[in-house]
Chains A and B, each alone.
Chain A
Amino acid sequence: MIQLTDTQLQVSLRALRDVIAPALKDSASHVVEQTHLVIATLEFAKQRLPHTRRFYREELRYFIAYGLEVAALIGDNNSSLADDIREKCQQGEEELQSPEADVEDYLLVNRRLRELISAAVDHAAGGPEEAALNRLVLDRLKGYLPYQRAWLLPFGLDPSPGGLPPVDQVDALNIPRT
């Protein structure tokens, strides 16, 4: 198959930048704005597409480690929810081992883990492990947020882009866990 997705994005971007956007520069302002946003969006896709699989695998690994920490913390007081989290972590490991898994398969597990961790926060409110769990949630998010921010850098809206990890260098994409 000769047609790479990257080529499709490349030709579309060239046409939009070099031909269509200049021709539309005197159009209604919302037309001009949306044209530039389309270019920015396709540019984002072009930059991030080659790294997508690696990124979402790393994200899932991070949430598995995070989920196991949460399960250990709440286990004594909420064993049912802790078991659900551990089961989902195990499913995540299986997806990571499966060569057939798609990015969306990683996301399915990751999103379920996110929901279960939020449910743990909800259930812990007012209880003995609330403070420790809230601290853990904040610490884990702070560890991962730089990668989320870096992923969206091509949109150009981050006020402090300096110091964010270089997501587009695949080998550097190694989210710290604990």
Chain B
Amino acid sequence: MTNLHTAAERLRASDPRAAPDEAFTESIRRRYPTEREVDAVLTGKMRRRGGSPYVQPTLEVLVEGARKLIEASLGYEVAISEAKWLSGGASKLQVLFTLHWSGFEGASGQAQSTQLVLRTEPAASITESSRMREFQVLRAVEGVLPAPRTFWVDADASYLPFPGIIYEFCRGVAKPSVDPGKVSGLGQNYGTVLRPKLASQFVDMLAALHTIDVARFSMLESFEIPKVGSNEAVIKQVNAMRRVWAEDRLEDEPIMEVVYQWLIRNAPPIDQVSLVHGDYRNGNFLFDEGTGEITAWLDWEGAVLGDRHRDLTYATMRSFAHVAEDGKTILCSGMMASEDMFAAYEKASGLKVDPERLKYYTIFNMYVLMVLILGAAARCSYGAQTHQDVLTNYLTGVGYPTLAELCDYFEKNAL
């Protein structure tokens, strides 16, 4: 022991991830190759980490940045009013504001006011992601399922402190008034009246997303399009998560290496390329509580081109489910039993649900959750890198139960 520092300081100083040097970052990049845009985002995160402590930008700074971004695009002056913080989500800063402008035609256009949302990043996120990819995917799904209409993107933070997008404000609530206390959708119960209305849309919209016209893939310039019959894209997606684990973890869990090796060795070839939401579950859509209509799907930052089973198994994870009123049925994402969801999905999409791929992506998604909760969320809080440190810290409470689930499932299906 040395008396030069407190024990806590010694612990922090021993952490190679707290202020990583270029060689550390490069070694991880080389070891776990992934998509180019994902690589750029993760590398940026590592380079920021050793810098100044994160100070949350004020509302005024963000409004000013948004105004400059919009004016640079439109070529004329606009005004912003009624700006306020928007709650929701564990990872991004969101500001609701009213834009007073004259449309895309120019200053001589008709004066109008539009409610918009600025979605931008803190220094680090539980889900580090590309605003450009989020912008492109929102454009690609326009008219396919309800999602915010995008207006502008500041992909390289030319106007804002960090990259951001501006999209339309969507009406609706994320939590029902019968069960308003749940955090981030975990175990959200929509109640017996709303549930059947939401459940059918939940499945139909997933089917619509996965069968989107492939011509729209050309709008996804920041995405790599997988080859049918190849598992190369799957391996890159696994590597992206393995890389986050290598970059963010506070302490290792050796089972994560066991599971990673298995995921690489058993990556199935993609039989049909789908646009995958990546976070398709309760808590990530808005709805009208009166009509039961889903009004918008949110949180597209984890979207990829890949295998539909990734969304199917994510939506049916135990972490997002709750037990029905009968005391035994597990309602996936608060909607329906998994077998009912898969059957309804096959009917709606015309696509087969493959049991072997379900097994693979169940393990994959548990691995993803572990990386994000025990790795990224714990790192964000430890490093004081977000405006939601207290939430990301709290969410680690779901990490070990999910790890227990992963152990049990892996033992039965993979070991």
Contacts from A to B (Cβ < 8 Å):
28-30, 33-34, 37-38, 40-41, 98, 100-105, 107-108, 110-111, 114-115, 117-118, 120-122, 125, 134-135, 137-138, 141-142, 145-146, 148-149, 152, 155-160
Contact = CB atoms under 8 A, between A and B. Distances in A.
B61 interface: no
Interface stretch (B158-166, B291-299, B391-399): B391-399
A138 B398 contact: no
Contact of B407 (A104, A141, A160): A141
26 contacts: A33-B391, A34-B391, A38-B390, A40-B394, A41-B390, A41-B393, A104-B7, A107-B251, A108-B14, A110-B251, A114-B251, A118-B252, A118-B254, A118-B256, A121-B261, A122-B257, A134-B415, A137-B255, A141-B403, A145-B400, A148-B403, A152-B396, A158-B397, A159-B187, A159-B318, A159-B319
Interface string B1-40: 1000001101100100000000000000000000000000
Contacts of B399: 152
Contact of B398 (A30, A103, A148, A157): A157
B253 interface: yes
B87 interface: yes
Nearest to A114: B252
Given A30-B85, A138-B258, A114 B253 contact: yes
A166 B255 CA distance: 25
A110 B250 CA distance: 12
A177 to B, nearest CB: 16
Given A28-B84, A34-B390, A102-B7, A137 B1 contact: no
A125 to B, nearest CB: 5
Contact of B397 (A117, A118, A137, A156): A156
Given A104-B7, A105-B7, A145-B404, A157 B254 contact: no
Interface of B: 1, 7-8, 10-11, 14, 84-85, 87-88, 183, 186-187, 250-258, 261, 318-319, 388, 390-391, 393-401, 403-404, 407, 410-411, 415
Given A103-B7, A104-B7, A145-B400, A33 B183 contact: yes
Contacts of B395: 157
A74 B265 CA distance: 22
Contact of A108 (B10, B261, B396): B10
Report which residue of A103, A107, A120 has the largest number of chain B beta carbons within 10 angstroms of its beta carbon.
A107
A156 to B, nearest CB: 7
A111 B87 CA distance: 36
B407 A145 contact: yes
Nearest to B16: A115
- List 10 A-B pairs, minimum CB-CB distance, nearest first: A155-B397, A30-B87, A102-B7, A104-B7, A157-B397, A114-B252, A104-B11, A121-B257, A29-B87, A148-B400
Given A137-B258, A141-B254, A152 B400 contact: yes
Contacts of A156: 397
Contacts of B88: 29-30
Contacts of B11: 104, 107-108
B303 to A, nearest CB: 25
Given A121-B254, A148-B400, 11 more contacts: A28-B85, A104-B10, A104-B11, A105-B7, A108-B10, A108-B14, A118-B253, A121-B257, A138-B258, A149-B401, A159-B318
A37 B401 contact: no
Nearest to B403: A145
B85 A138 contact: no
Contacts of B261: 121-122, 125
Contacts of B319: 159
A115 B250 CA distance: 11
A159 B254 CA distance: 24
A12 to B, nearest CB: 14
A149 B258 CA distance: 21
Contacts of A120: 254
Contact of A158 (B8, B251, B401): B401
Contact of B258 (A110, A121, A142): A121
A119 to B, nearest CB: 8
Contacts of A152: 396-397, 399-400
Contacts of A158: 397-398, 400-401
Contact of B415 (A33, A105, A118, A138): A138
A72 B410 CA distance: 25
B255 A111 contact: no
B404 to A, nearest CB: 5
A155 B397 CA distance: 6
Contacts of B8: 104
A145 B404 CA distance: 7
Nearest to B322: A159
A33 B403 CA distance: 26
Contact of A115 (B252, B255, B393, B400): B252
A34 B396 CA distance: 15
Given A108-B11, A141-B254, A141-B255, A100 B397 contact: no
Contacts of B404: 142, 145-146, 149
